[in-house]
Amino acid sequence: MAVSKNSLMTSYVFTFAILWAVMSNVCQYYYHRMPKKPDCWGRWGPFVLMCMATVLITLSPLKNLVVNVCMTSFRENGFDSTIEHALDLAYMPIWGTKPLQAYTALAYVCMFWSTSMQVDIYGKMVASVLKFQSGGKTEEAKKADGGCEGGS
């Protein structure tokens, strides 16, 4: 099944635009609803990590978009020094296949870490373990029954 060059270009544009829109909106959400932690990393960490993830995960679609826009422009308008500079930049070794895969993997690690900090998964797991160890009773329930195991 053949795909036209126009529809391929449109798919690259939409991939980059949708990915950037979703990731930047998550960054905005994390910025406006920061955790109420006393330390700087606990408060700003989720936002910073999500911003790093946003940049890292959009590098690969951005490279595809730049290369394809340059090639389309070359076919339609001929050579231009701007195309040359953009392609020189896009084909630098740091934008190769293996580094871009590493950047994407690092982006997923940053997203997971950021999300776990944002929802305080560690604190919730510790609270859950403590609740399990106390037999499912909360501190308020223990105080209400006088601290007895049987409740009376």
Write out the DSSP string of 16-78.
HHHHHHHHHHHHHHHHHT----SSHHHHHHHHHHHHHHHHHHHHHHHHHHHHHHHHHHHHHH-
Residue pLDDT tens, the chain, 152 long:
567 878 888 888 999 999 999 999 999 999 999 999 999 999 999 999 999 999 999 999 999 999 999 998 998 899 889 999 999 999 999 999 999 999 999 999 999 999 999 999 998 999 999 988 888 666 666 666 665 555 55
CB neighbours (10 Å) of residue 17?
A: 13
**What is the model's pTM?**
0.78
Tell me the domain boundaries of the chain: 5-119
- Comparing C-alpha atoms, which of 21, 22, 94 is closest to residue 63? 94
DSSP 3-state of 103? helix
- Comparing C-alpha atoms, which of 60, 62, 129, 124 is closest to residue 98? 60
